[in-house]
Chains A and B, each alone.
Chain A
Amino acid sequence: MELEAAKMIGAGLATLGMIGAGVGVGNVWSNYFAAIARNPAAKEEIGANIWIGFAVTEAIAIFSLVVALLVLFG
Chain B
Amino acid sequence: MAQGTQSGGFPVDPLHQFEIQRLVPINVGGLDLSFTNSALWMVLSVVAITVFMMVATRGRSLVPGRLQSCAEILYEAIAGMVRQNVGSEGRVYFPFIFSIFLFVLFGNLLGMIPVAFTFTSHLVVTFFMAMVIFVAVTIIGFARHGAGYLRLFFPHGAPLWTAVILVPIEIISYLSRPISLSMRLFANMMAGHILLKVFAGFTLLMGIAGVVPLAALVGITALEFLVAVLQAYIFTILTCVYLHDAIHLH
Contact = CB atoms under 8 A, between A and B. Distances in A.
Interface of A: 48, 51-52, 54-55, 58-59, 62-63, 65-66
Contact of A65 (B84, B187, B233, B241): B187
Contact of B184 (A48, A52, A55): A55
5 contacts: A51-B237, A52-B237, A55-B234, A55-B238, A65-B183
B184 A58 contact: yes
Given A48-B84, A51-B233, A63 B176 contact: yes
Nearest to A55: B234
A47 B49 CA distance: 27
B84 A59 contact: no
A52 B176 contact: no
A52 B84 contact: no
A62 B84 contact: no
A53 to B, nearest CB: 11
Interface string B175-190: 0100110011001000
Contact of A62 (B85, B183, B230, B238): B183
B81 interface: yes
| Nearest 7 pairs of A and B residues by beta carbon | A59-B180, A62-B183, A55-B234, A62-B180, A62-B184, A51-B237, A51-B234
B237 A48 contact: yes
Contacts of B184: 55, 58-59, 62
Contacts of A65: 183, 187
Given A48-B81, A59-B184, A62-B184, 11 more contacts: A51-B230, A51-B234, A54-B234, A55-B234, A59-B176, A62-B179, A63-B176, A63-B180, A65-B183, A65-B187, A66-B179
Report whether over half of chain A's contact residues are helix, strand or loop; otherwise say mixed: helix
Interface string B160-195: 000000000000000010011001100100000000
A48 B80 CA distance: 10
| Most chain B beta carbons < 10 A, residue from A48, A55, A65, A66 | A55
Contacts of B180: 59, 62-63
B183 A66 contact: yes
A55 B176 contact: no
Contacts of B85: 48
A59 B184 CA distance: 7
A67 to B, nearest CB: 11
Nearest to A66: B183
A55 B183 contact: no
Contacts of A58: 184
- The winner among A48, A54, A63, A65 for most chain B CB atoms within 10 A is A48
B81, B179, B183, B238 pick with most chain A CB within 10 angstroms? B183
B237 A62 contact: no
A59 B174 CA distance: 13
A52 B230 CA distance: 12
A54 B180 CA distance: 13
